[in-house]
Amino acid sequence: MELYQAPSGSNSTASNSSSSTLNVGRDGSGSFSGSFSGSGSTLGGRLGSTSSIPGGDSTPATSPTSVRRPSFFTQISGSSQSSFQSQPTVTRHGRKYINDATLPYPLPCDIAELNRQNLRHLLFKEVFGTYYTANFGTNLKKGEIPIPSKVLDLGCGTGCWSASMADEFASKFGKKDTEFVGLDLLPIQPDLPGVNFRFVQHNFLEKSLPFESRSFDMVFLRELTMCIPNNIKLTNILSECIRVLKPGGVLEIQCSKLPFPLSPNQRESITNPPNPTADLTIRSLPRMNTPRLPSSAYYTEQTTAFNLNPANRYLQDWNKWITTILTSREVSTVPCTLVGPSLLMERDSENQTLASVTSKRLALPFDEIWWETEQEVETDVESGFGRNKIKNGRRGPLTEEEKAVRGLAKSNFGKLIESLEPVMREGVGLKVEEWDKWYREVMSNFVKEGGLKNGECLEFGAWVAIKSKSG
């Protein structure tokens, strides 16, 4: 499977012409074909040849700027640890998984899944407009945050975020020497030429981070969903992230779904959130009176009345099944839901380890919504929406560029379904032929029958916390 590569020379959101197609069929169901013009041109160069997975058919690529450190795994049974060290991955149902029975993480770690994650990385960029949401800059008098000199990419995967940020800091701010430290379970990063990057192999769920306190200017996490077991407290993980931050440092967490901040009374019961729907469930966007962003996404706020039960029956299946399998694997279904209240509790605690906590939330529909086609076309719309200012927004039917971005979201969701097929079949008790029938119907509904025109969307959120100067 070829890695998605954005065309070179593009530095604006969906700025050029594009076309997209979702292919239906068992071998290529849900795959995205055609062209997509948008940001992230450097990513294709950085990750044009993804390294092989450890334990696979070939030896993983080793970057001359990377440092492969010894494993820090602890508190794992002897047999599990021995198996992992001798053979890091295992093949089941035709997919490659981390060879550690103690990990509840349900996704594979093969090239197809890593490419899906890289594609998701580009979606975050298209939606947010940048790879980060912290207010970095060089004008400190206006409250901009200094460009980090040392960054921890926690759960770094292929290293695509670190590579993209290195290019962003160099091209936008002229800072070319930022050091990136990637931490994850497997050394699956390809060569990252020109990036000051080193890798640390470590399971941060099992042991504290292997760094001194106040070591980093920024700690970054993305997509906690499906990673946090029920027996691991999210607050402990966040406390570790804050510990290794320097005073004034930035903690940024990007998630698939980001509910709105809870009241002080509600924060005290964060282990029992008022809306317990799983973070990966799909909701529907209501009719929006605000213009779209250039990416075709919408800002959402506390008053946004999402429909928790989408009209699409296949998404109803998905919502029920994803909650079932995560629950059965004893994985937290709502880690992103709990991030905000946990950070706000840190900010409001007696120690006041955090000086400020801010958030941003957007929704990207999968397809053109029926009410968008009825709106009068308005270009170059500027609108105030809560704390957010929308410039060059748009109403009315989608442009071809906007359709391409939404096609990318649809494709990425289809690839997530593919990656979860083995565990979902097992979790809900479907035979292979039953799953195949359901999956063919899903792809046909999504692509041919226009089944996603009622506002069904992917949600994107980011929390940014600043460590206090006395922390």
Q: What value does the mean pLDDT take over residues 313-324?
A: 94
pLDDT, one tens digit per residue, over 10-39 is: 333 333 333 333 333 323 333 333 333 333
b/e sequence 279-296, b meaning 16+ C-beta within 10 Å: bbbbbbbbebebbbbbbb
**Per-residue model confidence as pLDDT tens digits over 143-159:** 999 999 999 999 999 99
Average pLDDT of span 293-311: 89
Distance CA 86, CA 210 (A): 23
CA distance 6 to 37: 6
Class of residue 395 by CB neighbours under 10 A (exposed 0-12, middle 13-18, buried 19+): middle
pLDDT over 90 (residue 414): yes
Report the alpha-carbon distance of residue 463 to residue 471 in Å, rounded. 19
Query: Do the beta carbons of residue 181 and residue 200 sit within 8 Å?
Result: yes
Strands 245-255 and 216-222: parallel
Q: In the prediction, which pLDDT does 119 show? A: 94
In three-state form (DSSP H/G/I as H, E/B as E, the rest C), the secondary structure along the chain is CCCCCCCCCCCCCCCCCCEEEEECCCCCCCEEEEECCCCCHHHHHHCCCCCCCCCCCCCCCCCCCCCCCCCCCCCCCHHHHHHHHHCCEEEECCEEEECCCCCCCCCCCCHHHHHHHHHHHHHHHHHHCCCCCCCECCCHHHCCECCCCEEEEECCCCCHHHHHHHHHHHHHHCCCCCEEEEEECCCCCCCCCCCCEEEEECCCCCCCCCCCCCCEEEEEEECCCCCCECCCCHHHHHHHHHHCEEEEEEEEEEECCCCCCCCHHHHCCCCCCCCCCCCCCCEECCCCCCCECCCCCEECCCCCCCECCCCCHHHHHHHHHHHHHHHHCCECCCHHHHHHHHHHHHHHCCCCCEEEEEEEEEEEECCCCCCCCCCCCEEEEEEEECCEEEEEEEECCCCHHHHHHHHHHHHHHHHHHHHHHHHHHHHHCCCHHHHHHHHHHHHHHHHCCCCCCCCEEEEEEEEEEEECCCC
| 178 pLDDT above the threshold of 70 | yes
Q: What angle do CA 393, 398, 399 make, to 5 degrees?
A: 90
| 248-271: pLDDT as tens digits | 999 999 987 654 443 444 434 444
Exposed (0-12), middle (13-18) or buried (19+): which is 72, by Cβ within 10 Å? middle
Q: Considering the entire predicted model, what is its pTM?
A: 0.80
Mind listing the pLDDT tens digit for each residue in 386-398? 445 565 567 888 9
Residues 209 and 234: beta-carbon distance below 8 Å: no
Output phi, psi for 313, to 5 deg. -70, -25
pLDDT of 184: 95
**What is the predicted pLDDT for the residue at 247?**
96
pLDDT of residue 352: 84
- Work out the pLDDT band at 50, boundaries 50, 70, 90: very low
- The alpha carbon torsion through 200, 201, 204, 210 (nearest 10 deg) reads -50
Q: Is-contact 37 425, C-beta < 8 A?
A: no
The average confidence (pLDDT) of the chain is 79
Instruction: Report whether pLDDT(451) > 60.
Output: yes
| 230 phi/psi in degrees, rounded to 5 | -65, -25
Instruction: Look at residue 393 in the predicted model and tell me its pLDDT.
Output: 67
